[in-house]
Amino acid sequence: DTMKRLRRHGQESQRDRIKQELFQFNKTVEHGFPHQPSALGYSASLQLLAIGTRSGAIKLYGAPGVEFMGLHDENAAVTQVHFLPYQAGLVTLLDDNSLHMWTLRAHKGLSELLEIGRFTLTGPPGAPPSVTRVTAVLPHSSGELLLLGTEGGHVFIVEVPGFREVEERNISLDQVASSVPDDYIGRRNLEHVEALQENPVDPDQVVIGYGRGLMIIWDLEKRCAMQHIPATQQLESVWWTDDGSYILSSHSDGSYCQWIVGREDVNEEEEKSDIPYGHFPCKAISKIVQLPTKEGPPFLLFSGGMPRASYGDRHCITVIHSKTHVALDFTSRIIDFFTSDERYPSALVVLVEEELVVIDLQTAGWPIIQTPYLVPLHSSAITCSHHISAIPLKLWERIVATGDLQNTHYSKKPWPITGGQNLAPDPPQRDLLLTGHEDGTVRFWDASGVCLYPMYKLSTAAVFQTDTDPNDNMNQSTEGEWPPFRKVGCFDPYSDDPRLGIQKIHLCKYSGYLTVAGTAGQILVLELNDETAEQTVEAKVVDLLQGQEGFRWKGHTRLDVREDPVLFPPGFQPFALVQCQPPAVVTALTLHSEWKLVAFGTSHGFGLYDYQQKNNVLIKCTLNPSDQLAMEGPLSRVKSIKKSLRQSFRRIRRSRVSLRKHHVNNAAKVSQLQDANARLEAELAEMELAPVQRKIEARSSDDSFTGLVRTLYFADTFLSDSSHNTPSLWAGTNGGCVFAYMLRVPSIEHRTEEAVTAQPAKEIQLMHRAPVVGIVVLDGHGAPLPEPLEVAHDLSRSPDMHGSHHLLVISEEQFKVFTLPKVSSKMKLKLTAMDGSRVRRVGVAWFGSSRTEDYGESGLMVLTNQGDVHVVSLPTVKMQVHYNCIRREDVSGIASCVFTKHGQGFYLISPSEFERFSLSTCNLVEPHCLIEAPLQSGTSTQHRPQPSRARCIRLECLYFILETVWEPELSHSIVDQTFVPLHELDTLL
């Protein structure tokens, strides 16, 4: 017994060691566009872009691959983001009035974003909250001060990074009022501080702009007002020109004004006032910027100002340079904008609610620069995803070349934001992520590295007759139009026809065949063509009801196919179309490019299509006679739930009325009422409006959607006897039924003449009737069968066809292994029965060892409705590891999850963002980048002030830092300085 225990303990230790070598959970990077952005910041010295969101996230981006993310502990929106000049740090302001200091600290050769301080202004005792409510933030160019304008009209001055308030330098409202003529103060109060700007040529001077229009030029050293500018309109923004001679102000009536700095005789009449889009009432100009050029007139840029009645719903930034005047019309509300060059504008970067747009201002026509990251994945809503690992180079290059033909309208200029160093190794392989969208498009993304880069867009709408978008004409501006609109951006959430939505995608990376299926029962088969082709696509109608009586489809109609030839551009071009009747959503799809077959399934049945001969091979109706919901379509489904709710409440109401008539005090009647309430709760739980907890139990055969096909699988295995393998098709339904069909596929020589045939071979009914979500056949070695053509391309070993094969059926509630060809149960693994866990997604993956390249294991990646991910061993079907991945309340995130073949996964954390995670120790895609603080000599500003004593660090503090963070030997080399400027610290070390 002792020896057995020792041996068992040794085996367990070895298993634990192998688990540590193979499995490790990490959330690695977020792809896409931040959800609900609320603030924008930019550092010209660091060449970094920062975006804050309403959820309290802060994201930094530099050169492609350079990304950082932080999250505030407070559940509050980020309202402002400001980088500290010439430092690797930034300050964020939240809508709870708290300020936060962040720094990019180097650790083990890589930078990390850390929050190092937080601060909230505290006013005098008894002061109202408006006194300290921050409305404007200005980081001083010295890098040591932060000016905070408040709702009460005060300006507080705070030292950074320590957030120490310098009370003696604060600018109170009384000080400002005393320097302004009495007649101005008497007519109006100053209101809040709307804007703060520093004089570009004199850092001691700042302009304070108040909400009612007054602007004060304040000298920070002399602590007095130098000039007041008595504007009369509500102030929106202020800009100090590069030479310091003018101040521009924009106002709520759609006007902007130019004021001379240094003149004391400024009248209330604006020196130079302009309403660009008057004379009718206009919306406010929320931000204005004027930048010089090397030669010629300056650039003038401002947001807003559109005529209120005619174009009040437009989101515009106007760019005026010389005789060129363009109103850039964006797809959603403008958050903020900046120009990428510190002195001369080279690119305009605009953050709107749904995308980031970068415009090349140096090239004629001001074209768009394609973004290598922050691409709006949701330009049309994502409806499905499909991942393909290790794409062959030839196919990759053809997709890239096809995508380049679509991108000729983009600027040739490189990406203008280049901060940081990307130290991540080159991706070991080429990976594709395909996303299907509501407008019928499929987008191809390079998912090999940190940046999810757009490669190619396929549109399926041209095959069908759909209503054209009447707004398409807006993209083309007409000659002499005023305002001179130009549509920019790609976010377009509206679909011409929701039936076009893509629901399933399958790409064979070896043959280049692609099949996509949609909302209205359409299945397209496409092949990659490098040339333009004009062709007609004929629909092959498949009646999945097989003539059954008593059923009437109440959902949407099928899409009408174009009868005339369609001109398809280079790329994936459709050559075959299958149309299911009824035209229900396609729920399962798979492609076998070696056999030239496509299998598809809906809530009514499944079919097999030969796309070489363009013939139907198999049609099987799985519809249960009692399943009327399957005939109503997705829109009617909502109505049926409401109807069921109404019926339940009516039953309860009738019960209560009956009880009142027969005296409610009767204990037996009260018990009936409680039973009725219990029945209502049970009915609501069964409708599964949200994930619920329940025990595993057998399901009734009359449950709704029992015939819905959940999974389809091709396999070359043993069905009739153990000595002859044959092609086969397996289908699993929502009612726990598995159908197996034996296929006869002619040889290559006779493939075009002889027909593919299918005959029923096996049928399995799971006792607990749980939906079948996955089917895998394991060969004699217990390894999953390779993909079609994988062995032919020498990328996988041939399956073992001598030993017995096994069938693994994954239902929502258990994993069960059957022997083949007898289909007798061999082993099973139940998912936890009490906590309501159900399998939602499965995928086979290869997990390599982190310690040796010679070892690895195949495993089954599993996602449950609780948001947990598991790895189940093959062929032993034992639970290996278990991690919490997605919040159980995030139903859309769980539904959108897709696994990769190498232990990674993607899921939507918002409509516009994928979270990437990994269960493998070897396959991690995450940012590895370094940010170096800029040196003073490398800056382009000529008037940067020298650091003062407050900007330095004491020698004792420096000694402590060196001894604890860096090497102790370095601290002894610094003995001759009492104070060390922080900006010299990197050079000194």
Asked whether the predicted pLDDT for residue 472 surpasses 60, the reply is no
**Band of pLDDT at residue 18, cut at 50, 70 and 90:** confident
Structure confidence at residue 737 (pLDDT):
96
Spell out the residues 6+ positions from residue 6 whose beta carbon is closer than 8 angstroms to its own. Answer: none
Question: Once rounded to an integer, what is the mean pLDDT over residues 32-57?
Answer: 96
CB neighbours of residue 473 within 10 Å: 10
Structure confidence at residue 657 (pLDDT):
43
Residue 330, CB-side half-sphere exposure with 13 Å CA sphere? 25
Asked whether the predicted pLDDT for residue 429 surpasses 60, the reply is yes
Q: How far apart are CA 511 and CA 495, in angstroms?
A: 31
Structure confidence at residue 52 (pLDDT):
98
Question: Once rounded to an integer, what is the mean pLDDT over residues 405-427?
Answer: 94
User: Could you tell me the sign of the dihedral formed by the alpha carbons of 286, 292, 297, 299, in that order?
Assistant: negative
User: What is the percentage of the chain residues whose pLDDT exceeds 70?
Assistant: 82
Q: 778: exposed, middle or buried (C-beta count within 10 Å: 0-12, 13-18, 19+)?
A: buried
- Kindly report which listed range (153-162, 539-548, 672-681, 870-879) carries the lowest average pLDDT score: 672-681
Structure confidence at residue 128 (pLDDT):
87
Structure confidence at residue 915 (pLDDT):
97
CB neighbours of residue 969 within 10 Å: 9
Asked whether the predicted pLDDT for residue 647 surpasses 60, the reply is no
**Host H or E run for residue 809:** strand 806-811
**324-381 per-position pLDDT tens digit:** 999 999 999 999 999 987 678 899 999 999 999 999 999 999 999 999 999 999 999 9
Pairing of strands 324-330, 485-487: parallel
DSSP state of 371: P
Question: Once rounded to an integer, what is the mean pLDDT over residues 526-546?
Answer: 94
Structure confidence at residue 688 (pLDDT):
41
Q: How far apart are CA 601 and CA 586, in angstroms?
A: 6
- Kindly report which listed range (320-324, 834-838, 867-871) carries the lowest average pLDDT score: 834-838
Q: How far apart are CA 500 and CA 519, in angstroms?
A: 6
Question: Once rounded to an integer, what is the mean pLDDT over residues 53-74?
Answer: 96
Structure confidence at residue 972 (pLDDT):
39
Asked whether the predicted pLDDT for residue 108 surpasses 50, the reply is yes
Task: Tell me the pLDDT of the chain averaged across its residues.
Answer: 85
Q: Tell me the chain's radius of gyration from C-alpha atoms.
A: 33
DSSP state of 483: S
Q: Which two tokens stand for residue 564?
A: 């005339």
Asked whether the predicted pLDDT for residue 659 surpasses 50, the reply is no
Q: How far is CA 450 from CA 41, 48, 273, 914, in A?
A: 22, 17, 48, 12
Structure confidence at residue 800 (pLDDT):
84
Contact 30, 913 (CB under 8 A): yes
Amino acid (1-letter code) at residue 369: I
Range 931-934, long-range pairs (CB < 8 A, 24+ positions): 931/46, 931/48, 931/62, 931/66, 931/88, 931/104, 931/106, 931/111, 931/419, 931/420, 931/421, 932/88, 932/421, 932/986, 933/46, 933/86, 933/87, 933/88, 933/983, 933/986, 934/45, 934/46, 934/86
Highest mean pLDDT, choosing among 490-504, 643-657, 832-846: 490-504
Asked whether the predicted pLDDT for residue 578 surpasses 70, the reply is yes
Q: How far apart are CA 65 and CA 895, in angstroms?
A: 28
**Band of pLDDT at residue 430, cut at 50, 70 and 90:** very high
Q: Which residue has the higher pLDDT, 733 or 699?
A: 733
280: nearest Cα among 298, 254, 243: 254
- The SS3 assignment for 973 reads coil
Structure confidence at residue 76 (pLDDT):
94
Structure confidence at residue 694 (pLDDT):
36
- The SS3 assignment for 137 reads strand
Q: How far apart are CA 406 and CA 571, in angstroms?
A: 10
Structure confidence at residue 942 (pLDDT):
39
Q: 799: exposed, middle or buried (C-beta count within 10 Å: 0-12, 13-18, 19+)?
A: buried
Structure confidence at residue 427 (pLDDT):
92
Q: Which two tokens stand for residue 596?
A: 């030239």
HEC profile for 417-439?
Answer: CCCCEECCCCCCCCCEEEEEECC
CB neighbours of residue 223 within 10 Å: 12
Structure confidence at residue 67 (pLDDT):
96
* pTM recorded for the entire structure: 0.85
Question: Once rounded to an integer, what is the mean pLDDT over residues 426-438?
Answer: 95
Structure confidence at residue 836 (pLDDT):
79
**117-148 per-position pLDDT tens digit:** 999 998 778 888 889 999 999 999 999 999 99
Contact 786, 799 (CB under 8 A): yes
- E-only strand ranges, 120-270: 134-139, 145-150, 155-159, 164-165, 193-199, 202-210, 214-219, 224-230, 235-240, 246-251, 256-260
Asked whether the predicted pLDDT for residue 872 surpasses 90, the reply is yes
Q: How far apart are CA 989 and CA 973, in angstroms?
A: 10
Length of the chain: 989
Q: How far apart are CA 129 and CA 858, in angstroms?
A: 61
- E-only strand ranges, 451-556: 453-459, 485-487, 502-507, 513-518, 522-529, 533-535, 539-543
User: What is the percentage of the chain residues whose pLDDT exceeds 90?
Assistant: 67
**Band of pLDDT at residue 834, cut at 50, 70 and 90:** low
- The SS3 assignment for 51 reads strand
Pairing of strands 134-139, 110-119: unpaired
Instruction: List the strands of the sheet with 904-910, edge to edge.
Output: 23-32, 913-920, 904-910, 898-899
**Host H or E run for residue 16:** helix 2-22
**Host H or E run for residue 742:** strand 737-744
HEC profile for 374-404?
Answer: CCCCCCCCEEEEEEECCCCHHHHHHHHHHHH
Q: Which residue has the higher pLDDT, 835 or 706?
A: 706
Q: How far is CA 220 from the centre of its chain?
A: 44
Q: Which residue has the higher pLDDT, 697 or 344?
A: 344
291: nearest Cα among 251, 326, 333, 246: 246
Q: How far is CA 132 from the centre of its chain?
A: 36
**Host H or E run for residue 12:** helix 2-22
Residues facing residue 104 across a β-bridge = 113
Pairing of strands 37-43, 48-53: antiparallel
Contact 301, 317 (CB under 8 A): yes
**786-819 per-position pLDDT tens digit:** 998 888 887 778 888 887 899 999 999 999 999 9
Asked whether the predicted pLDDT for residue 835 surpasses 90, the reply is no
Q: How far apart are CA 972 and CA 764, in angstroms?
A: 78
Q: How far apart are CA 528 and CA 515, in angstroms?
A: 11
Q: Which residue has the higher pLDDT, 984 or 90?
A: 90
591: nearest Cα among 528, 710, 511: 511
Asked whether the predicted pLDDT for residue 651 surpasses 70, the reply is no
CA-CA-CA-CA dihedral for 371, 373, 376, 377, to nearest 10: 130
Q: Which two tokens stand for residue 914?
A: 């994928």
Highest mean pLDDT, choosing among 836-840, 887-891, 950-954: 887-891
DSSP state of 821: T
Contact 705, 603 (CB under 8 A): yes
CB neighbours of residue 628 within 10 Å: 16
Structure confidence at residue 3 (pLDDT):
58
Q: How far apart are CA 989 and CA 985, in angstroms?
A: 6
Amino acid (1-letter code) at residue 484: P
